[in-house]
Amino acid sequence: MIVRLSDIAAHASTSVSTVSIVLGDRPSPVRISAATRRSVLDAARELGYTPNLAARRLRSNGAQLRTIVLAIAYPIDSRLSLIGRVVHGVEQQIQSIQDQLESLGVTIQLTIEAFELGRLHLLRGLTEPVWFNGVLVSNTSTEDDAFLEALSPSVPLVVFGRYSRHSSVNTDSEAVGRLAGEHLVGLGHRRIGVINSDARSQAQLLRIQGFRDALQRAGVDPPREAVAQNTTWAPAAYEAVVPLLEMSPGQRLTAIFATNDLLAIGVTRAIRDRGMRIPDDVAVVGCDDAEFAAYQDPPLTTVHLPTEEMGARATAILLDLIYQRTTAPIQEIFPSRIVIRQSTVSLTRSATEGGHGRPVAGVVER
C-alpha cells in the first residue's frame, strides 16, 4: 500500500503542508515545533512511509539534483582494509552500469557515514529521510544489530556481513570457522587456540562456533581462547596470545585461528619474537583474505570472504529498492573458501593434502 502525505498528516494530527516541509527538510515560513516534527517522523515510520527520493530528484530540472546518494555506514574504529574492499565493490557495481546512468542523465554520489561502535542509533538518516537515498551498514556490534532489528528505516537499507530481518548480503560465518578448523585438524593439530576481538560481533561469534564444531566433530579438545581487548587489532592480538605461547612444551599450542587477518598479524609476530617457527612450531590461520595476507612472512593461510562481490551485490539491491523494482527484504548468502599458504603448510608439503594425505575441503592454493 502506498502511504500518502495525507495519511501521515492524519496520523500525526497536522496538515499536509507541514508533513511536506518536515519530510522534505525544506525551509518553513512558520515555525514548526520539535514536538510536531517528531510526531510527523514517527507517523511516517509507523505507517511504513518510504519516500522515493530518487524519483523526486529526477523530476527536478536542476542538474545538481539528478543524483542518487548512497551511504556506506561503518564504525570509526573499523578495519580500513575491509572497508576499502567494500567500497571497491560498490564502485565496481556503479561503474558496471555507468552507460545506463549516463543515458538517464543520472549520477550516483557515494558518501561515508561513520558511527561509534554500539551507537548506530545516533547515525543521521536512518530515521529521517533527508540525507541519502539508501544505506549499506557494515561492521555492526551486537548492540547495533539489536537496534537494527527494531528499526523501521526511513530509506532502503542493506546490512553487510550480518544476518538481519532487513535486506542483507552475508557469508555463512559458521562455515567460515568450520573451514579453518577442518584444515588444522586435517594437518594433524590437536592443541589449537583461537584469538578474537572483544567487539564480539555476530560474525566473529559465529566463526568461533563453527570452529568449535569442527574440532568437536574430529574428537579434538575445545580450543583455548584468548581475547584481544581493544580494536588496535594486531598489538592487542600480540598481547593476548603471549600466555598461550609461553606454556610448557607439552601444553603449548601447535595451531591458532585468528578471526580476522589483522589479529593474525599480531599472532605471527608474537610467535616469531619467541624464536618459534611458522608453521613448524605453530601454524596460523586468519580470516578475510585481506590484500596483505599473501605478502606476510610467511604468507598467511586464511579464509577468503568475497567482500568486493558482496559490496557490488549490496549496491545493486539498494538501487532496485530505491527505484522500487523489488521489495525488501532481499537476503543473499555468499560462499567462502580457504586459501592455503605457508603459515600452515611448509613449501615442502602439498597444499592440497592434509597432514595424513587426506584432501582438505574448500582448499584453494595460491
Between 303 and 77, where is the model more confident? Answer: 303
Domains observed in the chain: 5-49 (no CATH), 54-171+308-334 (3.40.50.2300), 173-306+337-365 (3.40.50.2300)
Q: Distance of CA 49 to CAs 7, 8, 234, 289, Å?
A: 10, 8, 44, 40
Cα angle vertex 330, ends 327, 336, to 5°?
165
> In degrees rounded to 5, what are phi and psi of residue 230?
-155, 180
Mean pLDDT value across residues 228-240:
82
Q: Cell numbers for 164, please give them.
A: 538481519
Q: Distance of CA 165 to CAs 147, 226, 328, Å?
A: 12, 31, 9
Closest CA to 73 of 38, 109, 107, 116: 116
Could you read off the pLDDT of 292-317 as tens digits, one per residue? 999 999 999 999 999 999 999 999 99
Binning pLDDT at 50, 70 and 90, where does residue 3 land? confident
| Residue 229 pLDDT greater than 80, yes or no | no
Q: At what angle do helices 5-12 and 34-47 cross, to 10 degrees?
A: 120
Alpha helices in the chain (DSSP H): 5-12, 16-24, 34-47, 53-58, 80-96, 98-104, 142-150, 173-186, 202-217, 233-245, 261-273, 307-322
pLDDT score, position 63: 42
pTM of the complete model: 0.77
Could you read off the pLDDT of 82-138 as tens digits, one per residue? 788 999 999 999 999 988 888 878 889 898 888 888 899 998 888 776 788 899 999
| Residue 180 pLDDT greater than 60, yes or no | yes
> What is d(CA 73, CA 75) in angstroms, rounded to the nearest whole number?
7
| Residue 363 pLDDT greater than 70, yes or no | no
User: Residue 267 in contact with residue 239, Cβ under 8 Å?
Assistant: no
Classify burial at 307, counting beta carbons within 10 Å of its beta carbon; exposed 0-12, middle 13-18, buried 19 or more.
Answer: buried
pLDDT score, position 288: 93
| Residue 54 pLDDT greater than 60, yes or no | no
| Residue 33 pLDDT greater than 50, yes or no | yes
> What is d(CA 305, CA 175) in angstroms, rounded to the nearest whole number?
11
Between 344 and 252, where is the model more confident? Answer: 344
User: Residue 208 in contact with residue 225, Cβ under 8 Å?
Assistant: yes
Could you read off the pLDDT of 80-96 as tens digits, one per residue? 667 889 999 999 999 99
Mean pLDDT of the chain: 84
